[in-house]
Amino acid sequence: MAQASERAAGPIRFERVYDASIEDVWALWTTKEGLEEWFAPEGMRVEMTALQLRVGGAFDYVMTAVGAEQVAYLANLDMRQTARVSGRLVEMVRHRRLRIRFDMDFVPGVEPYPYDMLVEMSVEAGRVRMVLTADRHPDPEMTSGAILGLTSQLQKFDLAISARATKEQRP
């Protein structure tokens, strides 16, 4: 399993290879049900409130801390347990690329800023290669938190892909 790039400069980068169909990988990124299955780190829950699959379309969700550790962590930072996150699709090529730009406007004391996440997919030798690239945050501590969060989210993504593959193999 690939790890996030820890370089101080440049974007955060994760790479995965799945024994799965491109349709299943795409569906986990582009359906309400798929995203709600994995898009929140451990101890958090996500509810998609808008998902418009077109360039310029909304990608909005509510993320809520549900685990005791996550609730305490947010309280310690004087942050709310629930955050509404607004974004939009700025690039979409079916089964190939998806770029989402989030409006980071929910961090207390931090001026709003754009935050991009790009997922690229390709089929190689019957397997799906997925590369996720995300911006670094202006604050190094937030970037560290983003790396931990994305690592947790992708572990849930891995489980969701495995569950779909197992379901497809049953007679």
pLDDT tens per residue, range 49-90: 999 999 999 999 999 999 998 888 888 877 788 889 999 999
Which residue, among 136, 139, 150, has the nearest Cα to 3 in the 3D structure?
Answer: 150
CB contact set of 131 (below 8 Å; sequence gap of 6+): 13, 14, 15, 16, 119, 120, 121
Q: Where are any strands of DSSP class E within the chain?
A: 12-18, 44-51, 59-65, 82-93, 97-104, 113-124, 127-134
Topology given in CATH for the domain delimited by 12-164: Alpha-D-Glucose-1,6-Bisphosphate; Chain A, domain 4 (3.30.530)
Q: How far apart are CA 43 and CA 67, in angstroms?
A: 4
What band does 171 get if pLDDT is binned at 50, 70 and 90?
low
Spacing of C-alpha 61 from chain mean position: 11
Q: Residue 165: pLDDT above 90?
A: no
Give tens-digit pLDDT for 103-129.
988 777 778 899 999 999 999 999 999
The pLDDT, as a whole number, for residue 107 is: 72
**Do residues 24 and 164 make contact, with C-beta atoms less than 8 angstroms apart?**
yes
Q: What is the DSSP string of 5-41?
A: ---SSS-EEEEEEESS-HHHHHHHHHSHHHHHHHSS-
Q: How far apart are CA 82 and CA 63, in angstroms?
A: 6
What band does 4 get if pLDDT is binned at 50, 70 and 90?
very low
CB contact set of 24 (below 8 Å; sequence gap of 6+): 161, 164, 165, 168
Give tens-digit pLDDT for 26-53.
999 999 999 999 999 999 999 999 999 9
The pLDDT, as a whole number, for residue 169 is: 61
Q: Residue 9: pLDDT above 80?
A: no
- Greater confidence (139 vs 5) lies with 139
